Amino acid sequence: MKLIIFAGPPTCGKTTVIRQVIRRMLKKGHKPAYLKIDVLYADEDKIISEEFGIPAKKLYSGELCPDHCNVVVMDEAVEWAEKSGSDFLFVETAGLCLRCSPYIENSLGVVVLEATSGMNLPYKIGPMLTLADIAVITKIDLISQAEREVFRYRVIEAAKEITVVESNALYGIGIDPIVKHIERSGEIEQPMFLRGNPPVGTCTICVGKKEIGAKNHFGVLRTMEHDLFYIGE
């Protein structure tokens, strides 16, 4: 199983990029599954399952921090994708908090950034960008060649090792390089660990327990099937 985690500020074009990627993956004979994690509302799972007929699911993190939700359910999510006969799991995160990153070791972390979002964005979003493997810059048709080049430079300055892909996802431009990276990415290894170090905090993940799965945590939790519950003293 290959795990591809997409993060990025809301409305930056994550779903559009994922749809174009899934379309090409299917043409190449891959079997992708899709999981959307959002806070209050999402209909992307329906859109994706209707468009492509692939296993698709959504989870509302609700009262939980969405990245926290991501951590406590990802083991089950991988199991679900395996059971549904998929070989790739695409996870689209809500991308709200900029202190943690949702990427897991041995997954492929993809951050999606809008070219129109201002030259300081790369410096503002922290680990969501710096711990990602690929930065996809979307909506490049809306800005000039000169600004594209400067924005790209700022992204690389914030995250030196990152691979930058520029894309106009609406028209499917710049998608093939992303697909290539996804195909080349490694298999997920169990047990899974969160990439990077979370910020100082008071929940199990915030204090540094990086093991994936609700069974490894206490406090306020949830699973794929069960809404919030509490484990602990």
Partner 1 sequence: MDIQSICVMGGTGKTGEPEKVERFELNMGDIISIVGPTGCGKTTLINDIELFANRNTPSNRLVMINGEPISEDFTFDPRKHPIALISQHTNFLSDLPVGEFLKIHAKVRGGDNPEQMIGETLEFANQLTGEAIITTTGMTELSGGQTRSLLIADAVIIGNSPIILLDEIENAGIHRSRALELLKQFKKIFVFVTHDPHIALLSDYRIIMKNGSMEKLICTNPAERKVAGELGKIDNLMLNFRTYIRSGQEISEKMMAEQMETLKLTN
Applying CB under 8 A, the residues found at the interface with partner 1 are 115-116, 118-120, 141-154, 164, 166, 173, 176-177
Q: Distance between CA 188 and CA 105 in Å, rounded?
A: 8
Sign of the CA dihedral running 23, 169, 67, 63: negative
- The CA distance from 164 to 159, in Å, is 10
Pick 78 or 129: Cβ nearer partner 1: 129
CA 73/CA 129 separation, integer angstroms: 22
Tell me how far apart the alpha carbons of residues 20 and 55 are, in angstroms, rounded to a whole number: 16
If the CB atoms of residues 92 and 166 are measured against partner 1, the closer one turns out to be: 166
Q: Least CB distance from residue 14 to partner 1, whole Å?
A: 20
Nearer to partner 1, 47 or 98 (CB): 98
Whose Cβ is closer to partner 1: residue 69's or residue 134's? 134
CA 11 to chain centre: 14
**CB 178 → partner 1: shortest distance, Å?**
12
DSSP string, 23-91: HHHHHTT--EEEEEEESS---HHHHHHHHH---EEEEE-TTS-HHHHHHHHHHHHHHHHHHTT-SEEEE
Q: Which lies closer to partner 1 via its Cβ, residue 56 or residue 155? A: 155
Distance in Å, CB of 137 to partner 1, minimum:
10
* Least distance to partner 1, CB of residue 2, Å: 21
Q: Which of 68, 139 has the CB closer to partner 1?
A: 139
Q: Please, what is the minimum distance in Å from the beta carbon of residue 24 to partner 1?
A: 12
DSSP 165: E
Instruction: Output the six-digit token pair for 182.
Output: 């996804």
Pairing of strands 219-221, 229-231: antiparallel
Minimum separation from the CB atom of position 6 to partner 1 (A): 21
